[in-house]
Structure 1
Amino acid sequence: MKIAIIGGTGVYDPRILNNIREQEIATPYGVVRFKSGEYAGKEVAFIPRHGSNHSIPPHLINYRANIWAMKKLGVQNIIATTAVGSLNPAMKPGDFVLIDQFMDFVKNRVTTFYEGGERGVVHVDVTTPYCPSVRTVLADAAKDLAISIHQKGTYVCTEGPRFETPAEITMFAKLGGDVVGMTNVPEVVLAREAEMCYATVSMVTNFAAGISPQPLTHHEVLETMQANTENIKKLIMAGIERLQPDTDCVCKHALSEYGGFTL
């Protein structure tokens, strides 16, 4: 099983896959329950990031367990989806963004597998935090499907679960942020430490606080996601068809300086 989907808000349905089965796997951080299936002749794992009923808030997601479990399964490529608010007038509700950079504003999350002790300490490079190969695959898939997608964007990750204040949004925009969400960190960092190819497709569900003319609601987020569910499913499916997980990539050597990632 070399490909995984981590579905964000609104992307809970693994039925894009065939022969779906429930599975679980133990990790040092807890048990991970997920679904697996087949598509385009490939075995695929599916994790709904917030749980199948959106019961896990962003600050309590067991990011380390999820990534460890996928690595233990043999996953090499992860396609993740996220729902985001926009700080950039060019990125409107309903738009897709192929994230290429992030800003980390989380406060209370462990963002590494390496906390000293037996595992030691590493300093992973995140100059290019999202896999260039998987991003190219998704960009080409979007083009073939005539799905409009922004080719790059900077994701500002906040702690949540509250929405951000207008003052925070103004600050993030001045710093160069394009979209804001609550889940991409530490997920992207852990995937890099685990030497996996990871890419994020974000769907803009609303303009952020102070830009939006009305107060933000989770219902608004879900409505926009539901309206675009078919497109995001098509994009993921086309991406899986094109992925060649065994292709070598710089992501798979992220910790070569330290002898590589070990479970």
Structure 2
Amino acid sequence: MIPGLELALIGGTGLYQLAGLEDAETHQPVTRYGAPSGPAHVGTLHGRRIAFLARHGEGHSVPPHRVNYRANLAALQSLGARRVLALNTVGGIGADFGPRVLACPDQLIDYTWGRISTVCEEPGTDVLHVDFGEPYSRGLRRQVLAAAQRSGTALVDGGCYGATQGPRLETRAEIARMRRDGCDLVGMTGMPEAGLAREMGLDYACLAIVANWAAGAGPDPDEVITLQDVLDNVAAASAGLPGLLEALLQGNGNA
């Protein structure tokens, strides 16, 4: 347990380290659920103690369906984190969610399968039935949105995140179905992470970084998505992150 650690960040595709983290210490906790994707780095950012963990490992070696989501969250919780801001690289479906947009979704739909999605998996554990009607913590979302406003960072408020299995990208028909279902964003790691955070009693919010149009959603229906395009767009969209994080960490005396 690290005193004063209130906020943890989980980085997605293209976000394997946190720029500006000072006096960083590396921790590799092993949890009751096994080892996390990689080490957690705890340091000081804008005068506050925070932790950072790369969801896919620091070399992007863990595909979305193999991420040990329970271990990642449990590791951060064991270090003392009570609030988690998830950075998710996603595709855009809705008209307001094009490449290089930042969004803070307020809803999600889970299309994944076969992943361990609860802390109630092992025999003998307590059975939890947590309320999940509002999948992201309202208070943390409000703080993220307020921080974006104070820092002048463009951030879309709301939207529905559709979590797919991966690691392949989706077909046009799948994206068309998701659009009919009401999804604005598509990613591969939003679940079971959000549900597990709720079961573990963590405040959790998502900062979605739109890397590309989802299949058939953009102005060019024949666009071919390349990894380089994704990384370039993530880098461009992430340009506003330092200012937003500074405002978040310095606001209200807590994260």
TM-score when normalising by structure 1:
0.89
* Aligned 1:119-158 pairs, distance under 5 A: 119-158=125-164
SS of 1:183's equivalent in the other structure is coil
Quote how far apart the aligned CAs of 1:141 are. 1.1
2:77 is aligned with 1:68: no
User: Which residue of structure 1 aligns with residue 32 of structure 2?
Assistant: 28
Structure 2 gaps of 5+ residues are none
SS of 2:193's equivalent in the other structure is helix
- In the alignment, which of 210, 222, 226 is matched to residue 217 of structure 1? 226
User: Which residue of structure 2 aligns with residue 261 of structure 1?
Assistant: none
2:245 is aligned with 1:236: yes
More off after superposition, 149-158 vs 70-79: 70-79
Contact 1:77–1:245, Cα closer than 8 Å, also in 2: no
2:214 is aligned with 1:197: no
SS of 2:229's equivalent in the other structure is helix
* Aligned 1:1-263 pairs, distance under 5 A: 1-32=5-36, 33-115=39-121, 117-212=123-218, 213=220, 214-242=223-251
Quote how far apart the aligned CAs of 1:124 are. 1.2
Contact 1:169–1:210, Cα closer than 8 Å, also in 2: yes
CA deviation string 1:168-211 (max 9, x = no partner): 00000001000000001011111110111111010111111012
Amino acid at match of 2:204: Y
TM-score when normalising by structure 2:
0.92
SS of 1:228's equivalent in the other structure is helix
Distance between the aligned counterparts of 1:161 and 1:125, measured in 2? 29
Moved over 3 A (4+): 243-246
Distance between the aligned counterparts of 2:19 and 2:25, measured in 1? 11
RMSD over aligned Cα, in angstroms?
1.5
Contact 1:16–1:237, Cα closer than 8 Å, also in 2: no
More off after superposition, 71-80 vs 164-173: 71-80
CA deviation string 1:49-77 (max 9, x = no partner): 11112111111111010111112222111
Number of residue pairs aligned between Structure 1 and Structure 2: 246
Distance between the aligned counterparts of 2:250 and 2:61, measured in 1? 31
User: Which residue of structure 2 aligns with residue 257 of structure 1?
Assistant: none
Cα gap change, 1:52/1:15 in structure 2, threshold over 3 Å: closer, same or farther? same
More off after superposition, 58-67 vs 116-125: 116-125
Quote how far apart the aligned CAs of 1:20 are. 0.9
Distance between the aligned counterparts of 1:107 and 1:243, measured in 2? 39
Distance between the aligned counterparts of 2:163 and 2:68, measured in 1? 16
